[in-house]
């Protein structure tokens, strides 16, 4: 069975919108989807920002071009989310998703990750989840039926090592953004390229 490796970041609205279609790959093609977290360093390409309660940027380091791009991206994602009955509310800061990505790796190794995975995306984009809080991420694990007591130790050792190794492997493959898919040595980036992944699977099946 062919493997499709899907790279995602919980703080990417485009990755959120790509989840259902990625799930459908296993239904429509003879393939196995392996999800791999890839923590974006958004400041590297969109600058840094932090919004106060009145949506005013408290840092002031983004260029006008970067702000136009960011505003369009969230408008575009909200438009698509509305078509699918999803909620996307722009975050007030650039979150570090390393902890919750280690949560995904932990969940994948301890049981069925799907409930945790879905809840992280949904709650984060409703501004209902602090993905940088150990206690909150642990609580979500317990809520979705995962054994969470060993998670802090996992983060301090194996989890951090695995996340770093997966990032290095992804970048060796040319990954720079999400959502991305890797199949048969070919990289596809962006939700609009998912149809090309499907064509690839059809041609190779």
Domains and CATH numbers, the chain: 2-204 (3.40.30.10)
87 contact partners, CB below 8 Å, separation of at least 6 = 81, 122, 125, 126
Q: What is the pLDDT of residues 2-32, one digit of tens each?
A: 999 999 999 999 999 999 999 999 999 989 9
C-alpha–C-alpha distance, residues 188 and 52, integer Å: 36
Among residues 66, 14, 9, the alpha carbon closest in space to that of 57 is found at 66
3-state secondary structure of 163: helix
Number of helices (H) and strands (E) in the chain: give both, helices first.
10, 4
This model's pTM is above 0.85? yes
Half-sphere exposure of 57 (CA within 13 A, CB side): 15
Q: What is the pLDDT of residues 109-132, one digit of tens each?
A: 987 899 999 999 999 999 999 999
Lay out the sheet containing 186-189: strands in order across. Answer: 31-37, 2-8, 180-183, 186-189
The conformational region for residue 104 under phi > 0 = left, psi -120 to 50 = alpha, else beta, is: alpha
């Amino acid at each position: 069975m062919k493997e499709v490796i899907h790279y995602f970041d919980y703080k990417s609205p485009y990755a959120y919108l790509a989840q259902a279609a990625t799930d459908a790959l296993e239904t429509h093609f003879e393939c196995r989807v392996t999800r791999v977290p890839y923590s974006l360093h958004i400041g590297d390409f969109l600058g840094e920002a932090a919004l106060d309660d009145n949506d005013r940027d408290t840092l002031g380091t983004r260029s006008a071009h970067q702000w136009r791009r960011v505003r369009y991206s969230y408008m575009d994602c909200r438009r698509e989310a509305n078509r699918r009955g999803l909620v996307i509310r722009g975050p007030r800061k650039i979150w570090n998703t390393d902890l919750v990505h280690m949560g995904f790796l932990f969940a994948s190794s301890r049981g069925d990750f799907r409930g945790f995975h879905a809840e992280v995306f949904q709650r984060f984009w409703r501004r209902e989840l602090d993905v940088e809080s150990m206690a909150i991420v642990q609580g979500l694990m317990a809520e979705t039926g995962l054994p969470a007591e060993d998670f802090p130790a996992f983060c301090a050792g194996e989890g951090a090592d695995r996340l770093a190794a997966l990032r290095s492997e992804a970048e060796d493959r040319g990954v720079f953004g999400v959502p991305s898919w890797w199949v048969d040595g070919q990289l596809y980036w962006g939700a609009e390229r998912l149809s090309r992944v499907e064509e690839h699977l059809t041609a190779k099946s």
